[in-house]
Amino acid sequence: MQWMNYHHLYYFWVVAREGTITKAAEQLSLTQPTVSEQLKTFEAALGEQLFDRSKRRLALTETGRVVFRYADEIFSLGQELQDTLAGRPSGRPSKLRVGVSDVVPKLVLHRLLEPALRMEEPVQIVCREDKTERLLAELSVSDLDLVLCDTPLAGQARVRAFNHLLGECGVAFFGLPALARKYAREFPLSLDGAPLLLPTENTVLRRSLDHWFDAIGVRPRIVAEFEDSALLKQFGHNGEGMFPGPVAIEAEVIAQFGVRVVGKTDHVKERFYAITVERRIKHPAVRAISDAAHDSLFI
């Protein structure tokens, strides 16, 4: 078995954490040439380049990010071991690194992640919001534990990962009380010509809504389109128009934005998925999220 030089791993970890060899050398009480040489030796032993040196500030390569993640866990566990042997509680919560697609409503996100925060063993949640494609790339190199999104991973995707349907629900339309009173009667036909705030056309929900509007012969007046669901709801709160949202968070939307339900439909569904590299979910926090979603959120 080939043994890794953990001194070299430690030097790499400090450099990656500090961002420059100068700062790392100060932290390690070594000269800069010594640290640089140790890094080159470590990269040669691994047969991989860990840093992109073409930029002023050292940037980790894809392989470097993977190695840093393991190094971070190794040295954090080492500190925890020392604390345990010294009789001191480590108090170090485990981390759950979540990638959140920017189309997932923030209120749904909180309801999905809340069970992980209520576990007996403390969990620290680290959220990254971005486009689904970029999040899946991070998932593939183990920078994330799961990705939450509104669409399943397609079969032709380059990332080897697995879809876990958390649940689905119908869609409600919300508006300030005056709008709700005006358009609730004869819903959904009342939406013809009605002022609506909708997600942008590149979203699954918008495409589903457009198909439904066509099917029932309704042509609403689209006041504005948003990629950010929170911004869409804020405009609705300000009375600019009515907006759609998942029935599963109906109570939260009403309480937070001071709106009323205009009407609901089950002909348009919102679905939410957890995507992981595991066929069967093993991470305790991810399992807690999945179980709670099935048991209480989407029922």
β-pairing, 51-52 vs 59-60, is: antiparallel
Q: Is the pLDDT of residue 299 over 80?
A: no
* Amino acid (one-letter) located at 174: F
Asked whether 50 and 40 are in contact (CB, 8 A), the reply is no
Q: Please report whether residue 1 resides in a domain.
A: no
Q: Do 159 and 281 fall within a single domain?
A: yes
Q: Please report whether residue 197 resides in a domain.
A: yes
In the predicted model, what is the mean pLDDT of residues 92-109? 86
In the predicted model, what is the mean pLDDT of residues 96-113? 91
Q: Do 285 and 195 fall within a single domain?
A: no
Each residue's pLDDT tens digit, 29-52? 888 888 888 888 888 888 888 888
Sorting pLDDT into bands at 50, 70 and 90, what band is 28? confident
What's this model's pTM, rounded to 2 decimal places?
A: 0.68
Residue bearing the bigger pLDDT, 240 or 45: 240
Q: Do 106 and 81 fall within a single domain?
A: no
Q: Do 178 and 254 fall within a single domain?
A: yes
Residues near 156 by beta carbon (within 8 Å), at least 6 away in sequence: none
Q: Do 253 and 285 fall within a single domain?
A: no
Range of the domain at 185: 168-270
Q: Do 27 and 173 fall within a single domain?
A: no
Q: Please report whether residue 196 resides in a domain.
A: yes
Residue 295: predicted pLDDT:
87
Nearest Cα residue to 262 out of 162, 195, 166: 195
Q: Do 12 and 80 fall within a single domain?
A: yes
Nearest Cα residue to 80 out of 70, 94, 92: 92
Each residue's pLDDT tens digit, 151-210? 888 764 566 788 999 999 999 999 999 999 999 999 999 999 999 999 999 899 999 999
CATH code for the domain in which residue 48 is found:
1.10.10.10
CATH code for the domain in which residue 242 is found:
3.40.190.10
Q: Do 185 and 253 fall within a single domain?
A: yes
Q: Do 26 and 80 fall within a single domain?
A: yes
Sorting pLDDT into bands at 50, 70 and 90, what band is 85? low
Q: Do 66 and 15 fall within a single domain?
A: yes
Backbone angles phi, psi at 186, to 5 degrees: 65, 25
Q: Do 45 and 124 fall within a single domain?
A: no
Pick the last residue of a domain from 65, 85, 105: 85
Q: Which two tokens stand for residue 225?
A: 């389109």
Q: Which residue reads 């999220």 in tokens?
A: 289
Residues near 159 by beta carbon (within 8 Å), at least 6 away in sequence: 136, 137, 139, 140, 153
Q: CB 179: neighbour CB atoms within 10 A?
A: 21
Q: Do 55 and 105 fall within a single domain?
A: no
Q: What is the largest CA-CA distance in the chain?
A: 77
Residue 251: predicted pLDDT:
94
- Structural domains counted in the chain: 3
